[in-house]
Structures are given as C-alpha cells and as structure tokens.
Amino acid sequence: MNHFLDIHKTDAADLRSIIDQAAKTKAARVGQPKAALDDEQPLKDRMVALIFEKPSTRTRVSFDVGVRQMGGQTMVLSGKDMQLGHGETIADTARVLSRYVDMIMIRTFDETVLTEMAEYASVPVINGLTDRTHPCQIMADVLTYEEHRGPIKGKKVVWTGDGNNVCASFLHAAGQFGFDLTFTGPSQLDPEEEFMGFARQQGSTIQVERDAFKAVEGADLVVADTWVSMHDAQSAKERRHNMLRPYQVNAELMSHAKPDALFMHCLPAHREEEATSEVMDGPNSVIFDEAENRLHAQKAIMRWCLGN
Ligand code: CP
Ligand code: NVA
C-alpha cells in the first residue's frame, strides 16, 4: 500500500508509471458512457472516503466518478460535519476510518492534517489539496501536456502570478519529470525556497523573472492560477490584485511565448483577472482537458496506492 502525499515524496519511476497507466485507461474508455464500469475493476468491493474541508468541484466529482468506474463505492464527507471539525484528533479519526474504508482522500488546510492522517491510517491516504501543494492536479497536467505535445522532459514551463500550492506541485514535478520552470510574479508571492531547491537538486533549471514578458520567451507551457486561493484572507484581495495585475495572461503575453505554447489553468478561474477569456478559450488552451484528466490521473493514482 502507498500514500500519495506529494509529487516530491513519490518515486519518479512510480510517477511515470502512473501517467502511463492513466493514458492507457483513458484510451480504453473512449466512447464509453460515463458511468460504465471499466473492463478491469481494481476497486471492486472497495470503499473510499472523500473528505473535504474546503470547497471543490473537480476533485470531488472526478474522484467520485473514478472510484465508481473502477468498481468501488464512495462516501463524500464534509470536514465540518465530522467530529474532526469539532475536536476529535486526526490520529483517532484516521484509525477509526481505517476500520471502515479502504482508502482516504482528503482536501484540507494545514498539510500536517494530511501527514498525520497518513501516519495513523492503516489504509492509503491521498492529498486532494492542502494550503501548500496540489499533486493530483499536476499529475493531470503532465498527462495533458504529453497528450498534446509529447514528452514534457526538457520543456520550459512558465508559472505566472502567485507562487502558491499549485505552483509548488509544478516545481516538484519539474524535478521529477525533468522539465524547467520559470516563475514570474511579485517577490512577496515567490514560491517556497524549499520547493525550488528540490527541483534544482534534481537537475532542473528553476528561474525567477519579475518581467512577465521576458519570462515567457521560449515557453512551451504558460500556467496561471487564481490570485486569491481558498486559504488566503479575503481582506488581502485588493492588495494581491494590485500586485498581480502585471502578470495577467492575455493574448499579448502569450504572443511572446513559443507559437505552439499551451495554456493551462487548474480552475476554478476568475476570468479577466489572472487570464483573459481570449486566452482561456483560445486555440492553445487545454484547460478542460486538464479538468477531464483529473479523472484519469487519479484513477491511476488510486490503483498505485492499492498496489495494482
Ligand atoms: N482544480 C481543482 O482542484 O478544482 P476544485 O477546487 O473544483 O476541486
Ligand atoms: N490555488 C487554488 C487552487 C484551487 C484548485 C486554491 O488553493 O484555492
């Protein structure tokens, strides 16, 4: 059994096999109704708990559908309705849930909730986003890039805006999949040094460039995310918008990247803020493929967690 806690905590060869598995099972579903069972049902007779301490559309629906397609069952739990939200310890919650379910996916705030859950659970635990990282999203993004443009190894990815949780997992993926990443955003919102350091140690070129137009030169992929994440104080919204406005991804910025550069956004988006609709709905945007690939990537992650 394996936990899927973060991209930098997972063996690079395992990450590659997860992507390959995802591509294979995705291909096998072409033309199938959404609720049809997969030919193989690695989650047959398995129960999966999906715990949300923050809102979600994609993570919630893609995990739920994915488990069912693989023959399993789900229960979707809101953190605030559980005793977890009323003082029960994470350790006790993990031990109790392990008596009922075969796998736990959790979206939470502080990453110590995730790591403690994994420490005390006797079943696999999957990170469905914390304040610091979002590994399932970036597995879907790697799958999406490779579907459109072939191997991501050696490519130049440019992250625009806030060096947040999704950016962190992109940095981890840079190290593990061997691509380079340039961060462009205000210094107050730089990614954590630790995450940039990880990717550099693996041999990736990680750069910080304050000028968005210089940053995107030669980019194979340009990525944006919301300027105010779920864990950010709403009171900081105006200040963040003022800092981040020069980093908006619009047609002019994209024209400085390679002509075939893809555009990604994990969604949900605030259109005309971090990116314009012209870019989001333009020919180089793969935002809805990313959303779809959450399903296929996570199915492969769950199989890996259960050792098949
Ligand atoms: N991208 C993503 O994780 O979306 P949700 O917040 O809707 O799950
Ligand atoms: N950075 C965003 C990602 C949402 C999927 C957030 O944490 O709110």
Instruction: For residues 166 and 286, state if they share a domain.
Output: yes
Determine whether the annotation assigns residue 255 to a binding site. no
- Find out whether 265 and 140 touch, Cβ atoms under 8 Å: no
Instruction: For residues 120 and 254, state if they share a domain.
Output: no
Tally of CA atoms within 13 A in the half-sphere of 304 that contains its CB: 24
Residues with CB under 6 A from ligand 1: 56-59, 129, 137, 266-268
Model pLDDT for residues 255-301, shown as the tens digit of each residue: 999 999 999 999 999 999 999 999 999 999 999 999 999 999 999 99
ipTM beyond cut 0.95? yes
pLDDT value at 208 more than 90: yes
Clarify whether 305 is annotated catalytic: no
Instruction: For residues 273 and 166, state if they share a domain.
Output: yes
pLDDT score for 63 = 98
Q: What is the pTM of this model?
A: 0.98
Model pLDDT for residues 14-54, shown as the tens digit of each residue: 999 999 999 999 999 999 999 999 999 999 999 999 999 99
**1 belongs to a structural domain:** no
Instruction: For residues 62 and 183, state if they share a domain.
Output: no
**151 belongs to a structural domain:** yes
Distance CA 56, CA 128 (A): 10
Instruction: Give how many domains the chain has, as a whole number.
Output: 2
**2 belongs to a structural domain:** no
Clarify whether 172 is annotated catalytic: no
Residue 95, domain extent:
7-133+294-305
Average pLDDT, stretch 239-265? 98
pLDDT score for 169 = 98
Residues 6+ apart with CB under 8 A from 144: 264, 286, 289, 290, 293
Residues in the chain: 308
151-174 exposure pattern, b = at least 16 Cβ within 10 A, e = fewer: ebeebbbbbbbbbbbbbbbbbbbb
Instruction: For residues 143 and 218, state if they share a domain.
Output: yes
Instruction: For residues 160 and 301, state if they share a domain.
Output: no
Residues with CB under 6 A from ligand 2: 129, 164-166, 225-226, 229-230, 266
Determine whether the annotation assigns residue 57 to a binding site. yes
Instruction: For residues 126 and 151, state if they share a domain.
Output: no
Clarify whether 107 is annotated catalytic: yes
Model pLDDT for residues 111-164, shown as the tens digit of each residue: 999 999 999 999 999 999 999 999 999 999 999 999 999 999 999 999 999 999
Q: Residue with the nearest Cα to atom 1 of ligand 2?
A: 229
Instruction: For residues 177 and 119, state if they share a domain.
Output: no
Instruction: For residues 107 and 181, state if they share a domain.
Output: no
